[in-house]
Amino acid sequence: MTRICSLRLPHDELRNKMQEIYFAGGCLWGVQEYMRHLPGVAFTEAGRANGTTKTTEGEYDGYAECVLTRFNPEIVSLKQLFDYFFEVIDPYSVNQQGEDIGEKYRTGIYSTEPEHLKQAEDYIRSRSDADRIAVEVLPLSNYVKSDDEHQDRLTRCPDDYCHIPGDLLHKYKR
């Protein structure tokens, strides 16, 4: 499901302003549901970051469950997105968020833009707890869209399990 941005700009002009970043914060269902309601976020998609294959079939290939997040930097800055992201993760946990355990549930920030990665590293370094943070910041080397059953899962099935508490999950829902 695609969210429509409420800005009144010609489609091409709006598309040119958009940027993409990928957030891994445990189970992608909750991260996608949370991110899709943030101000300035125009589109989210559940996927897999930095695995070794181009398919969702087969053995685990080292990916992290992630959410492609397309946003308008004139409405929401990367720092604000990082603040939002850190609201819903345990940044100290390694390969676990809530009851979800395993390497695919690690936390991470990925991008094809070096400036995004620099800002993420600076953001983490600026925190007083930086030495305890286990969020990886890496270039996006591979992205695979998750199967349709995982797209907008908590919108379609709101009673499914989510590691993010309900009041926080929809804190920014309009």
Question: Catalytic site residues?
Answer: 27
Q: What is the DSSP string of 123-162?
A: HHHHSTTGGG---EEEE---EEEPPGGGTTHHHH-TTS--
Residue 166 token pair: 């309900």
CA dihedral 140, 24, 94, 50 (to 10 degrees): -30
